[in-house]
Structure 1
Amino acid sequence: MSDDYLVLRCAGRMVARYRTGRDLPSTLAPRPHLHPVTTLAGTPVTETRPADHPHHLGVGVAVPDVEGHNFWGGRTFVRNEGPTELDNHGVQQHAAFPLCDPDGFVQELRWAAGEGELLRERRTVAPVQVTDSAWALDFTFALTNTSGRELSIGSPATNGRPGAGYGGFFWRAPKEAAAPEVFTADAGGEDGVHGRRADWVALTGDDWTLVLAGATDDTRHDPWFVRATEYPGVGSSLAAEERLTVAADETVVRRIVTVVADGRLDRGQAATLIHKAVTA
């Protein structure tokens, strides 16, 4: 690992860099993230700090409201006021790497803001080969409330902005000339997929496909946050419809497995690959 990033490899190829994020300004809610992430053929499938949303940082965990603190970056949605510039940004601080090598890592993180540490995270990330043209990113995060009191996790949706239930695992894909196609096993299009629960959701670009799946019961309960027309991005929402209350010392665990494939997959191909990846 260099001072600023860790290289992840799969099938003998570099498929991602995991960046510390410590050089980011406070308004972006500094946090570790994966970028660039590529297919096995080398096609980029992430974007960071794009002009449309400078606080979008590749692949990672970002939450816009932890007891009023912004760990997403950018403006904060305030009820009856709308998006507002506030000095309320938190930071995810590296604490330790219990395991760290090109085949994957385990990281301890401190989520700090305002009065100090609110959450302690244990993050486990591993690349897994699925086929000769597809690999999977296995990403688990466990958030433990270390504040000594009850915490509440929210989103712009729970704060009064309909349809904006983002917060949790989030993947910002690259913007191309045409909007990506998005679909699940039985629905298609942004309107048909966004805000709904599904075993998996796929996003296809010019010559790549991402297939994301919740790999635990709790994760599958979270609705998908999907954008395709405005920008390409998919996330698993911790607080899409109502605030998530986390008692002192309680731990919230989520696991998302994402297939990263070369080419444009159809429903059948996407279903086959994600099933293979989740059960590997």
Structure 2
Amino acid sequence: MNPALVLCCAGRPVAHYTTRPALAGDHSPRPHLHPVTTLAGVRVTELMPQDHPHHLGVGVAVPDVAGRNFWGGRTFVRDRGPTPLDNHGVQRHDGFTLRAPDGFVERLSWTAGDRVLLREHRTVATAVLSESAWALDFTFSLTEVSGQALSIGSPATNGRPGAAYGGFFWRAPKEAAPPAVFGADADGEAAVHGSRAGWVALAGEGWTLVFAGATEETRRDPWFVRAAEYPGVGSCLAHDRRLPVAAGATVVRRVVTVVADGRLGRAEAAALVHKAVPA
């Protein structure tokens, strides 16, 4: 495993990025950010937790790309349920085109055996918002390169209602009590999960994460939100139907996450989102 790249914001280290994790194949090895911290040093990510060992901090994870698992763990199979399959892909780090203290631009290949299904262009950057908050700007572009159309699915499109995860994903730390969940006009996990809200927030013990879609396409994706079972937020590339990717086509998504010290209220969260992603 290569040494992690350290990202800084306001002169402080706030994230470590691992490009080539030494993981078994059933984890669907992929570059990821962990640990990520607030400006005061509170950790807000989890790596390989006991409840879901294939959760790897912050990154892009998709459980079904043309039948290949880039999420890790078991694959949900219609009429069979979660099933261990030898179908795990690897997101291979191909190099950086830019590296700076506050961000990077990376090239990746999504591989299944010796076949490349997708090429990814990933941009990650930090920005200070206040003395107690910063933003992680995460953009990924997935391009079909084999010349054959494919599609992206999720457990939901394969028969498991409410489990449309796949895309950007942030695993937060599990604490004694679940984090509070709220959006711009909703409260609670049940109300926010599956919504197409402009932003959603998790507020834990001494920290708040506010996730905002930063492009029109990203804002059309519903949010995947968990709090009671485990704390995590992600986007849903394939919510109620598979996402087709034509030969040579590109899918682009951008999520900006506010990372704040303290437990923010709705008005404070909204103000920071507006600063991080101006309308």
Q: Partner residue of 2:122?
A: 123
Q: Which runs of 4+ in 1 moved over 3 A?
A: none
Q: Partner residue of 2:34?
A: 35
List gaps (5 residues or longer) in structure 2. none
Q: Partner residue of 1:179?
A: 178
C-alpha contact 1:118 1:147 (8 A) present in aligned 2? yes
Percent of matched pairs sharing the same residue: 71
Q: What root-mean-square deviation, in Å, do the aligned CA atoms of Structure 1 and Structure 2 show?
A: 1.1
Secondary structure in 2 aligned to 1:27?
A: helix
Q: Partner residue of 1:104?
A: 103
The separation in 2 between residues aligned to 1:114 and 1:97, in whole angstroms, is 23
The separation in 1 between residues aligned to 2:80 and 2:72, in whole angstroms, is 18
Question: Which residue identity is paired with 2:64?
Answer: D
C-alpha contact 2:20 2:93 (8 A) present in aligned 1? no
Render the CA deviation track for 1:119-148: whole Å, top value 9, x for unaligned: 000000001000010000000000000121
Write out aligned runs for 1:249-264 (5 A): 249-264=248-263
- Cα distance, 1:3 vs structure 2: 2.8
Write out aligned runs for 1:133-212 (5 A): 133-212=132-211
Secondary structure in 1 aligned to 2:152?
A: strand
Q: TM-score, normalised on structure 1?
A: 0.98
Question: Which residue identity is paired with 1:165?
Answer: A
C-alpha contact 1:105 1:125 (8 A) present in aligned 2? yes
The separation in 2 between residues aligned to 1:88 and 1:216, in whole angstroms, is 32
C-alpha contact 1:88 1:114 (8 A) present in aligned 2? no
Secondary structure in 1 aligned to 2:273?
A: helix
Q: Partner residue of 1:86?
A: 85
Aligned residues: 279
Question: Which residue identity is paired with 1:207?
Answer: G
Question: Which residue identity is paired with 1:185?
Answer: A
Secondary structure in 1 aligned to 2:5?
A: strand
Question: Which residue identity is paired with 2:184?
Answer: A
C-alpha contact 2:7 2:16 (8 A) present in aligned 1? yes
- Cα distance, 1:240 vs structure 2: 1.2
The separation in 2 between residues aligned to 1:100 and 1:74, in whole angstroms, is 31
C-alpha contact 1:168 1:235 (8 A) present in aligned 2? yes
Write out aligned runs for 1:10-21 (5 A): 10-21=9-20
The separation in 1 between residues aligned to 2:277 and 2:131, in whole angstroms, is 17
Question: Which residue identity is paired with 1:258?
Answer: T
Secondary structure in 2 aligned to 1:259?
A: strand
- Cα distance, 1:115 vs structure 2: 4.9
More deviation in 2-11 or 55-64?
A: 2-11
Render the CA deviation track for 1:89-116: whole Å, top value 9, x for unaligned: 0000011200012110000000000451
Secondary structure in 1 aligned to 2:147?
A: coil
The separation in 1 between residues aligned to 2:237 and 2:161, in whole angstroms, is 15
Secondary structure in 2 aligned to 1:166?
A: coil
